[in-house]
Structure 1
Amino acid sequence: MLKQNKITDQNKYYLTSIDDLPKIRGQPKLHKIDTQMRIVTCSRDTITSPISQFIFRIIKELRTTLSGVVCNTSNFIKIITDVKLNQDEHLASLDIQDLYTNIPVNKAIDITLKRLDESKKLDNLPFTKTDIKELLILALKNSYFQFNGKFYKQKTGLPMGIHYHQY
């Protein structure tokens, strides 16, 4: 992308300046009895962080094209406060087990690219659909981490705790 003048030298330095791999840690589920530790990937300031942040800035507006999207807790509270239920209606809260590790990454990339096409956002950017796809693959399919001095790669889904949870 640098050779094609799509990014600057400064962008290239930013995107390639960190070479640390994410680490994993076990986080106890204090609200549940006799359950396994939740494996969380600590990925701030690691090798894919800059790429994730860069691609997020490009695709973040896509959330506004979806109905029913809640971006954060404050947004949810604002929405739920205005909900009026009839006597025969109920609200339900659901928990998806292993949400991130069950996300089909290829399908997520395809959906993102389709949404980008539909939104016409790429019309105002120097990047092609192929550029965006390559950045998404770099950010989402390189789930390497280090544990006890050994290197591993997550085979499916997205790691929990990885920097792109903001997507």
Structure 2
Amino acid sequence: MMPKRENVQLAYLYFVPKPLKEGIPSRPIVSSTYMPTTGISKFLDRLLRPLFDRHVRSTTTIDGVDLIRRLQAYTACGYLKLPTYLCTFDITDLYTTLPQEKSLDILTEFLLEHGYIKVNTVSIDAIRKLARLVLTENIFTYEKRFYRQVVGGAMGSAFTLTLANVFMWKWEKRLAQQQLNTNEIYRRRVQHLRKSAIVSISFIYLL
């Protein structure tokens, strides 16, 4: 996780167009390849993402094939009826609008709720401190000016995706349980490209 002095560079902001969105808006990306906190971000992502994926598998759709199989199982149980609705919705600018301290609180809650005091010998307190560094020390340049991100995480930081997923776990777990109690289903699909850090989230559930 230690940065190499000879390679460290300040991050910079650039924008990628989203042609599939109305009006072709731009997605802000922070190029953080050589930031001092990049190693910490990658470490936290490798440490925590497998845990998240394992504990939320029941409410996560990996891809289209996985969704079809789950719908087939739902139909085989006799739950898919004529008045059933398929609904989808999207969260706008989730990664760049996360409340930082609240997100850290939810990350701590997620780990404790699933019985973790340490993760691979790393204490929850250490994980939280490292996560705070990644969030609060995101300093970058744009048009010859210096900026510090005070809300959300950097689009381009590996840990941002994992933290956003954990943040949504807090919101969605109650809804998912409500659907389960009435023999309905809730699924969330997360699509990401690691190299470019272009990510999108959508939510799929049946009423």
Q: Counterparts in 2 of 1:1-150, with a 5 A limit?
A: 14-17=1-4, 18-34=7-23, 36-60=25-49, 61-66=51-56, 67-70=58-61, 75-82=62-69, 83-84=71-72, 85-123=80-118, 125-150=120-145
SS of residue paired to 1:38: strand
Q: Is the 8 A contact 1:43 1:163 kept in 2?
A: no
More strand by share: 2
**Per the alignment, do residues 33 and 110 of structure 1 end up closer, same or farther by CA in structure 2, a change over 3 Å counting?**
closer
Q: Is the 8 A contact 1:44 1:163 kept in 2?
A: no
- 120, 141, 150: which one pairs with 1:155? 150
Q: Is the 8 A contact 1:25 1:41 kept in 2?
A: yes
Structure 1: gaps (5+ residues): 1-13
How far off is 1:153 after superposition?
A: 0.9
Structure 2: gaps (5+ residues): 73-79, 163-207
How far off is 1:15 after superposition?
A: 2.6
SS of residue paired to 2:59: coil
CA-atom RMSD in angstroms: 2.4
